[in-house]
Structure 1
Amino acid sequence: MATFSSVSKQHVLQAIAEHDDRGREEFLQLYGFAPSYEHTLVHEGRSYDARALLGLAHRFATGRLASSDEFDSGPEAAVAILRKRGFEVTEPAGVVRAAPVRAPRAPRAPRAPRTPVARPSAVREAPVLICPTCSMALPATGRCDSCD
């Protein structure tokens, strides 16, 4: 399973440039992608197969080509990734996506007012005394065991 977190906008632009250099048919055949008209990436007025571009962009990012069956949740995953990178991806003709529906939340019970809690005051420790001769911590007697 491929992860696409390392794919940047620059990687996608590299894939677009290679697609333009090779042409659609040669590009798809070379990298083993079937032509798809489900989702298209539109860049500078030209249309591209979204999953094929993302698969090659994954190779530019990681060194490994992501095949079309490695997209974890179908073409919608590729669309979401490309949109997050700032690209325009069109839906197939006639597809209308409904807005996500959120389940209503149960009403919350009112909270009881908080009562202040008495906290113990911080205990101050006596500073550690240091022997001026050897720089060792002095015992409770105040006399250095090493120097005396």
Structure 2
Amino acid sequence: MATFSAVTRQHILAAIAEHDDRGAENFLGVYGFTPSVRETLDHDGRTYDAKAILGVAHRHATGRVATADELAGGKVDAVTILRKHGFDATGPVAPPPPAPARRTSSAPRARTATPRRAPEPEKPPAVCPTCFMTLPATGICDSCG
């Protein structure tokens, strides 16, 4: 699966420029994307397919196009990634996270004791056998050499 941590704003702008040069149909066809109207990117008064732009931006960043399959099915939220880079992207509203379950009983919950590890005793510092001074991290006495 593709990761998008290497994608920067410049990579996204390069993908937009490539889209403008090739035209929408050719751009989508070359990289194997199908047109989508659900997730869009608006830039300089033009609208682009957000997933296709992000997939090609991944190519500019890493040399490999993030395929339509990698971006499909909610595996990657293209709109959120594009927004993080300062672009105006829109898409379907994600459902809110489920609410935590509420306790229905008023009885206090029994706590389970988790065993704690005993602290490990500190090692005594290394000492020079000649002058009995504490040795530095190098292990060589500064006084005796």
Report the TM range for the smaller structure's normalisation.
0.5 to 0.7
Q: What's the counterpart of residue 4 of structure 1?
A: 4
| Change over 3 Å in CA distance of 1:76–1:67 after alignment to 2 | closer
CA–CA distance in structure 1, aligned partners of residues 101 and 9 of structure 2: 37
CA–CA distance in structure 2, aligned partners of residues 57 and 3 of structure 1: 12
Structure 1 position 66 matched with structure 2 position 66: yes
What's the CA shift for 1:100?
Answer: 5.3
What's the CA shift for 1:104?
Answer: 8.4
Q: What's the counterpart of residue 113 of structure 2?
A: none
Q: What's the counterpart of residue 122 of structure 1?
A: none
CA–CA distance in structure 1, aligned partners of residues 24 and 75 of structure 2: 19
Counterpart mapping for 1:128-147 below 5 A: 136=144
| Change over 3 Å in CA distance of 1:104–1:5 after alignment to 2 | same
Q: Which amino acid aligns with 1:69?
A: D
Structure 1 position 89 matched with structure 2 position 89: yes
Q: Which amino acid aligns with 2:77?
A: A
Q: Which amino acid aligns with 2:55?
A: G
CA–CA distance in structure 1, aligned partners of residues 84 and 37 of structure 2: 21
SS of the counterpart of 2:77?
helix
Q: What's the counterpart of residue 116 of structure 1?
A: none
| Change over 3 Å in CA distance of 1:55–1:97 after alignment to 2 | closer
Q: Aligned-pair RMSD on alpha carbons?
A: 3.2
Q: What's the counterpart of residue 125 of structure 2?
A: none
- Matched positions, count: 116
Structure 1 vs Structure 2: percent identity of aligned residues? Answer: 56
Contact 2:70 2:76 in 1 (8 A): no
Counterpart mapping for 1:6-21 below 5 A: 6-21=6-21
CA–CA distance in structure 1, aligned partners of residues 26 and 84 of structure 2: 28
**Deviations 1:19-75 (CA, angstroms, capped at 9, x unpaired):** 001110111111111111111100011000000000000000000011011127527
Q: Which amino acid aligns with 1:58?
A: H
CA–CA distance in structure 2, aligned partners of residues 40 and 55 of structure 1: 13
What's the CA shift for 1:84?
Answer: 0.7
Contact 1:51 1:75 in 2 (8 A): no
Gaps of 5+ in 2: 104-129, 132-142
